[in-house]
Chains A and B, each alone.
Chain A
Amino acid sequence: KNEVEQSPQNLTAQEGEFITINCSYSVGISALHWLQQHPGGGIVSLFMLSSGKKKHGRLIATINIQEKHSSLHITASHPRDSAVYICAVKTSGSRLTFGEGTQLTVNP
């Protein structure tokens, strides 16, 4: 079992829909990252969370430390949101442990 599990693996939505991607982890962490990667591209850090909730534009990220669970929400989804979304946790030292990613496709 991976230390970081994401669901779903693939997600297809229509433009305007509300989207949720989930991440569960089984290790002690100091922080959790949500990352975005467009095809063939580099990685953009969307959020870093150690507790509670953060919001940036149409993106909302929440974390429940007791449940070892985090969610990334996208409101009013748009085709330009199509990308791979990766959950990564910071454990000991400088090491990041990545989930397998969620491929999101938003159709117009």
Chain B
Amino acid sequence: DTEVTQTPKHLVMGMTNKKSLKCEQHMGHRAMYWYKQKAKKPPELMFVYSYEKLSINESVPSRFSPECPNSSLLNLHLHALQPEDSALYLCASSQPRDRFYGYTFGSGTRLTVV
């Protein structure tokens, strides 16, 4: 299995809803990432988990809450989002501490906040 699987592919949520995005990989990668991408812009790093521990939080608002329950799974819990949070959310994985190792990206979750 050489894929990063993200679910759901599309999500529409109200500003008072609570929802979660899921990311799964079975490549044995021990670093997992959440990126946010707005239209016609490059991805922006949100969070990095390394060996299931949060290693980077790019000053992301607390309405986004990441979770890494095990080495294969990464969640992003969403609560009280704003319309400007509508974006493509991408998950990626790689091997930490291996500077020559590549990244594998998922196909993303298209989030619309109404």
Contact = CB atoms under 8 A, between A and B. Distances in A.
Contacts, number: 57
A31 B105 contact: no
A45 B100 contact: no
B14 to A, nearest CB: 22
Interface stretch (A19-27, A58-66, A89-97): A89-97
B56 A33 contact: no
Interface stretch (B59-67, B68-76, B78-86, B106-114): B106-114
Interface size class of B (residues with CB under 8 A): 20 to 34
Given A42-B105, A45-B104, A94-B31, A100 B42 contact: yes
Contacts of A90: 99
Question: Which of B6, B43, B55, B110 has the most C-beta atoms of chain A within 10 angstroms of its own C-beta?
Answer: B43
B110 A40 contact: yes
Interface in A4-46: 30-31, 33, 35, 40-45
Contacts of A95: 45, 48, 56
Contacts of B88: 40
Contact of A86 (B42, B56, B92): B42
Interface of B: 6, 31, 33, 40-43, 45, 48, 50, 55-56, 88, 90, 92, 94, 96, 99-100, 102-108, 110
Interface of A: 30-31, 33, 35, 40-45, 48, 50, 86, 88, 90, 93-96, 98-101
30 contacts: A31-B100, A35-B105, A40-B110, A41-B108, A42-B6, A42-B106, A42-B108, A43-B43, A43-B92, A43-B105, A43-B108, A45-B103, A45-B104, A45-B105, A48-B100, A48-B102, A50-B100, A86-B42, A93-B55, A93-B96, A94-B33, A94-B55, A94-B96, A95-B45, A98-B42, A98-B43, A99-B42, A100-B41, A100-B42, A101-B42
